[in-house]
Chains A and B, each alone.
Chain A
């Protein structure tokens, strides 16, 4: 193995497929996208250069501002709730002896199901004529219009979708944290308990510092995932009512595939790309990770 690793040609040969694939399916399209963002392009005729017009249009696009607000809401909501609940579930499950695998599988199950199917399922659940409202009606409670209410700065459908997303993806964080927590040596806890530490203190001073590297990973995944969020929104509200639940990914999709404005759609994608890069950079720089010997 060491012999191969010292051979630069062999390394190049093994790395080459990934580099080529990465270039073809990621780097080239990103460059193309940036190029298209400076054009009027309907995908059916040749793009024509229009300078910064698409970016100027973005400044005046009220729906884009709504989409930006909703995407940032998703980012913050996911970052906070999925981290806290993910860690709590991971700690709870690593500390129970019976039924750990059962609960783990139940919580993780939504992660492996199709988002499109789950989106439709929840859309039915929140439909006024079926699901939750019918259940509430049994007790004489008139349920709200879960996916149509438009009052407030962050409207009810956004909270609903955010909670569905939390339900779907919290299992992923839980699994990652469980893997990290399982790797912490029991000796550390035993030593702490011998020194008189409580369970809470052990969590605060042993578990949390040692899962910090995983925090960076899960936080990055959460933030980038929630900025790119598309499927649940598309399947539950299609961005409505009146575009109030649009997020950046759905709005660029509608601009491209509904209105044939691929140039403008690409400009929104550039904004999304910049936001993803900025968030990743901030997380990397903002969270200081120290390596402990666990």
Chain B
């Protein structure tokens, strides 16, 4: 009997210790007085955050919040990322003893899946960075993103009024503001003025035909004409998006959304054909190169043109400051007989506050830090991106490329989002990206690729 009792007690002890090890709290912070545990696969910083939350819970003094971002704050040479690190440091210093923010960082490719896993597990970070379009839409529709309308318009009117109001356009759902922008970027063609000079090109191309001619000259001069990544599908998809818009204009995106325009329309097929033609002038390794590798090829002086968002200014200047003087910018060329050539792909980086955060005041204070004058000045003067507030910055301190971007924006007649971020869902965007990669790789003809997208829309969007 005694032995059985000992056995039972031993088993109970074993069970409790094992089950305690399996325990997962769903609290993202400290409010409930329980420890916050993050996804096991998250970075070491997540563990630190969980530890910090535990300490807070017991002391009840400092509110711990988490902010999630798609780049490594310590390792990255990207100047915008470094600016974000400064914001976090400044926030922690400014609110010392009251709030503390820990950054959860992942690489860009894994960001969405890790964030989604955290949200699904009920351990969403208090604030996270988010792309506009279907990414944000899925968080809004799922109720994961907090409605910021009242916070912005009524509780913090001064803060709200400091923004350029048009920045909220893609962040508003049924008159509800669901995110706060931190900076603004436009997709353009960056070019190496030295290579253009050596190739005998006097002015950047204004039409697609001129672009092809210039590519031939650059190739003849011994350089890769265009540096592009098909390994990172959205880079190639951005070029495809521009071609689709230059062929068919705004009707293409609006029409495919409501089903009045088919993906198999001539403008799309022509865009696909031009994508295939243009891709002949990509570097040989474009199929396997990552976005960072393609960008490095450009700022290391091996390629003539890089088609990228203006966030790349921070990456270029952060990695090779000497390149700033020889980096020019031109608008993606128009297509003769096509649509308006002055439209531009733009996007904002945005902060979303979790609908379940128990630290709303701390989260709002953090978002204010991200968009205050110091942060926005840094965005322009160091990072080379366009501020989202009406802050005045010293243009002479800003990277030269920013000036070129702003000049082009002055003559821009309309804007649109990245194609993959303007479609019906994240999956629809991926379908577009993947089929553009297939055109590039020669696995599908433009007709086959756009038919595949059309079929996807028939099954999942139009007839749903």
Contacts and interface: CB of A to CB of B under 8 A. Distances in A.
B8 A25 contact: no
Report which residue of B112, B117, B288 has the largest number of chain A beta carbons within 10 angstroms of its beta carbon: B288
Interface in B1-27: 3-4, 7-8, 11, 14-15, 18, 22
A44 B120 contact: yes
A13 B13 CA distance: 12
A282 interface: no
Interface in A230-273: 238, 240-243, 253-254, 257-260, 262
A129 B144 contact: no
B7 A240 contact: no
Contact of A257 (B109, B120, B441): B120
Contacts of B430: 258
A158 B426 CA distance: 26
B461 to A, nearest CB: 14
B7 A44 contact: no
A294 interface: no
B434 A240 contact: yes
A127 interface: yes
A257 B138 CA distance: 12
Contact of B142 (A10, A42, A150): A42
Nearest to B442: A150
Contacts of B65: none
Interface in A1-60: 7, 9-10, 13-14, 16-17, 20-21, 25, 42-45, 60
Contacts of B165: none
Q: Could you tell me the dominant secondary structure of chain B's interface residues?
A: helix
B15 A150 contact: no
Given A13-B11, A60-B459, A127-B288, A148 B441 contact: yes
Contact of B113 (A129, A145, A243, A258): A258
A128 interface: yes
B426 A150 contact: no
Contacts of B138: 260
A60 B430 CA distance: 18
B426 A259 contact: yes
Contact of B4 (A13, A145, A258): A13
Contacts of B113: 253-254, 257-258
Contacts of A242: 434-435, 437-438, 441, 443
Given A44-B119, A257-B113, A260-B138, A241 B426 contact: no
10 contacts: A7-B4, A13-B8, A127-B293, A145-B287, A145-B288, A148-B231, A241-B233, A257-B120, A260-B138, A262-B120
Interface of A: 7, 9-10, 13-14, 16-17, 20-21, 25, 42-45, 60, 127-129, 145-148, 150, 238, 240-243, 253-254, 257-260, 262
Interface of B: 3-4, 7-8, 11, 14-15, 18, 22, 109, 112-113, 116-117, 119-120, 138, 142-144, 230-231, 233, 284-285, 287-289, 293, 425-427, 430, 434-435, 437-438, 441, 443, 459
6 closest A-B pairs by beta carbon, nearest first, are A44-B142, A128-B285, A43-B120, A242-B434, A128-B288, A148-B287
